[in-house]
Amino acid sequence: MTETIQVGLVGYGFASQVFHVPLIQATPGLTLAAVASSDAAKVTEALPGVVVEADPEALFARPEIDLVVIPTPNETHYPLARAALEAGKHVVVDKPFTLDLTEARALEALAEAQGKGLSVFHNRRWDSDFLTLEALLAEGSLGRVTRVESRFDRFRPEVRDRWRESPRPGGGIWYDLGPHLLDQALVLFGRPRAILLDLASRRDGARVDDEFTALLDYEGLSVELKAGTLVAEETPRWRLHGTRGSYVKFGLDPQEERLKAGDSPSPGWGLDAPGRLCLAAEASEPVSREHPSLPGDYLAYYQGVAAALRGEGPMPVSVEEAIAVMALLEAGLTSHRQRRWVSL
């Protein structure tokens, strides 16, 4: 595929407006050509010149559309992705890939049979702190890492009227933030031997889980993943300990907030605050210092998709990697229900 890739977007909710539209529009080689939405006036006002279809089926039927992006409620990912692939389109699905492994593997088989590209938007691989951690681990600065804590905390005491907080398939914080933290752990450390998950509903009026603690067991390494909605005081986003020292990072990557504010990706826009690196020197006490963060780059995801569709490399997130996340999500739910470690 050498010409401009024509993109069709399903839905125009929060994820579309904040993440996908600005990133697609900023990626050379991609053109947002059409949106499927029941609110044509809203889309036309924000995206003049973009075709609006009343339903996804009409979008999939448009012959000029090469790539379909699906940032819709989790329970719709599988049927919409299946329909798009059957219509002969390449597909990007927002995380989580599907609701379960059966659906995920069915899409993998369909994409292969159709000869179409399929990827999942695990954008937090391009968070500033995550890229910094990858570099630290690659250079071995911390020695052999023995313990990792990764947290994604918020203070949102009021339950909101939205699908993510409703008792429907794919609702709750485990399916919202769990895929981010699990995918990052898989990229950094590979598949764990077992998982132990505790889910809870802590807020007044909560109808789904709004807090979790997941423990991942590796040989010689323990990884703890946590997320909550009643955490008012700042907690470390990352805390790693190894045989040569420790790394601690507070604060979330700034790209989401900048996208919410209407900023477009530009040089330096993913710059984040430094973390703290504490390393042991020869025959002396460990020394703590600021460690600069590498710039985050969400644009790299869609640049990778465009390159893959031109035949210049693999998808930035492979189907196999997305299925590995689904396996952990599913095993975690089994662990919570049965109150035990679940081996993988």
Q: Both 89 and 129 in a single domain?
A: no
Give domain status of residue 323, yes or no. no
Identify the band that residue 283 occupies on the pLDDT scale cut at 50, 70 and 90: low
Domain match, 168 and 286 both: yes
Q: CB of 91 within 8 A of CB of 68?
A: yes
Same domain, 36 and 149: no
Instruction: State the residue range of the domain holding 101.
Output: 5-121
Q: Which pLDDT does position 268 carry in this prediction?
A: 78
Q: What is the DSSP letter of 216?
A: E
How much is the pLDDT for 264? 86
CB 82 within 8 A of CB 107: yes
Residues 146-159: pLDDT tens digits? Answer: 999 999 999 999 99
User: For position 124, what pLDDT does the model report?
Assistant: 97
Last residue of a domain, one of 103, 121, 139: 121
Same domain, 220 and 139: yes
109 pLDDT exceeds 80?
yes
Looking at residue 64, its pLDDT comes to 97
* Residue 285, pLDDT above cutoff 80: no
Please report the pLDDT score of residue 266 as a whole number.
81
| 174: pLDDT strictly greater than 90 | yes
What pLDDT does residue 168 have? 92
Q: Does the pLDDT of residue 2 top 80, yes or no?
A: no
Q: Is residue 286 very low, low, confident or very high in pLDDT (cuts 50, 70, 90)?
A: confident
Examine the pLDDT at 13 and tell me if it is beyond 60.
yes
Give the Å distances, CA to CA, from 99 to 47, 76, 246, 329, 340. Answer: 31, 9, 36, 9, 22
- CATH code, domain with 233: 3.30.360.10
Last residue of a domain, which of 94, 121, 148? 121
Domain count, the chain: 2
Q: Is 131 exposed, middle or buried (0-12, 13-18, 19+ CB in 10 A)?
A: buried
Q: Judging by DSSP bridges, how do beta strands 194-200 and 342-343 pair with one another?
A: antiparallel
From CA 78, how far away is CA 99, in angstroms rounded?
A: 8
What confidence tier does 280 reach under pLDDT thresholds 50, 70, 90? confident
Average pLDDT, the chain: 96
pTM of this structure: 0.95
Using CA of residue 205, residue 207, residue 210, residue 215, what is the dihedral sign?
Answer: positive
Using alpha carbons, select from 77, 261, 290, 83 the residue that is nearest to residue 170: 77
Q: How confident is the model at residue 317 (pLDDT cuts 50, 70, 90)?
A: very high
In a domain, 310, yes or no: no
Mean pLDDT of 100-128: 98
Query: Does residue 10 fall inside a structural domain?
Result: yes
Determine, yes or no, domain membership for 62: yes
Residues 100 and 138 in one domain: no
Single out the residue in 121, 144, 164 at which a domain terminates: 121
> Using one digit for the tens of pLDDT, what is the confidence trace for 180-230?
999 999 999 999 999 999 999 999 999 999 999 999 999 999 999 999 999
